[in-house]
Chain A
Amino acid sequence: MLKLYEQTIRSRLMLGTARYPSPAVLADAVRAARAEVVTVSLRRESAGERAGQAFWSLVRELGVRVLPNTAGCHAVKEAVTTAHMAREVFGTTWIKLEVIGEDDTLQPDVFGLVDAARILCAEGFEVFPYTTEDLVVAERLLAAGCRVLMPWGAPIGCGRGLNNLFGLTALRAHFADVPLIIDAGLGVPSHAARALELGFDAVLVNTAVAQARDPVQMAAAFAQAVEAGLAARQAGPIEPRDLATPSTPLIGTAFRG
């Protein structure tokens, strides 16, 4: 079981809700992923279309916990105001805090992120900061009051997987007791399995599922990968070696001696 801000979560796969071919496919993908947590956002609502109302009804019918994000925010003030608005609409103190610093890579502005996290944690929010694998930034976020971290695997939507294996491994080792959720950049289920094998507590996936040719099948594949990765981690993987070691016993080998 995974504990996130006093909430116990069984599924290690969180799902984003954007970019699916249709609301029906999104709903089927959430079920296939066996996700308990989905990310949502806030956008300008047209009084005529009321698209947000239909989406919110769909999410509520799924019976999942929502993790609202501050996607698109580039400044501390924008992110903090968006968090306030999300708390009211979604009725949760959880907030996936994003402060974007660079548009080509959507890399977090970690300085703004720490500032915004400090403000929101002091106000009682339970902050899930979208960050890099930087150890010092992670320290600052924890000092600001965060009790979960969401390091990126790779830039959002790129599908490259775990870009900086050394840095992520160091982060995992350094913060052994902090829930770490890989957020962004995963492309295929093996990336998710790898994250869990390395000891990360969960992954958040959106584009890799939503933009797959068959999002529902891909959601199921990610669910299986996450389960396999967690089981492997718990089973205790062997350490990699540089040289071969025979797996078949050498005692009694024919034609020797």
Chain B
Amino acid sequence: MKILVNGAWRETQRDELAGALEELGYGGSVVSTAVNGEFIAAALRARTTLADGDRVEVLAPMQGG
């Protein structure tokens, strides 16, 4: 399945958000996620099903003013 992760197309074998994040290398990271513009809390990632073409945002703490 192809999903758009932070603006780049990525291939994943997993169809739930938690598994896809693990597969894409985000395991253990402090991140927050959104799918198709909707916030997905960490507790809901395991039961959030992805579909081909979904837009996934993976955000982390960053410098800000």
Contact = CB atoms under 8 A, between A and B. Distances in A.
Q: Could you say which interface size class chain A belongs to?
A: 35 or more
Contacts of A19: 63, 65
Interface residues of B, number: 25
A56 B61 contact: yes
Interface string B13-52: 0000000000011100111111001110110000000000
A216 B22 CA distance: 39
Contact of A89 (B26, B30, B38): B30
B58 interface: yes
Contacts of A16: 63-65
B59 A207 contact: no
B59 A43 contact: yes
B60 A86 contact: no
Contact of B31 (A45, A71, A84): A45
A44 B7 CA distance: 9
Contacts, number: 111
Contact of A45 (B6, B37, B42, B64): B6
A86 B31 CA distance: 9
A44 B55 CA distance: 13
A68 B59 CA distance: 13
A34 B6 CA distance: 36
B4 to A, nearest CB: 12
B25 A47 contact: yes
A86 B25 contact: no
Interface string A205-229: 0110000000000000000000000
Nearest to A78: B37
Contact of B26 (A20, A40, A45, A51): A45
A73 B41 CA distance: 20
A46 B26 CA distance: 8
B24 A47 contact: yes
A40 B32 contact: no
A17 B65 contact: yes
A184 B65 CA distance: 9
Given A44-B7, A85-B39, 12 more contacts: A17-B64, A26-B63, A43-B59, A44-B57, A44-B58, A45-B31, A46-B6, A47-B58, A48-B25, A53-B29, A82-B59, A89-B61
Interface of B: 6-7, 24-26, 29-34, 37-39, 41-42, 57-65
11 contacts: A16-B64, A18-B63, A18-B65, A40-B64, A42-B32, A43-B62, A51-B60, A52-B30, A52-B31, A85-B33, A90-B61
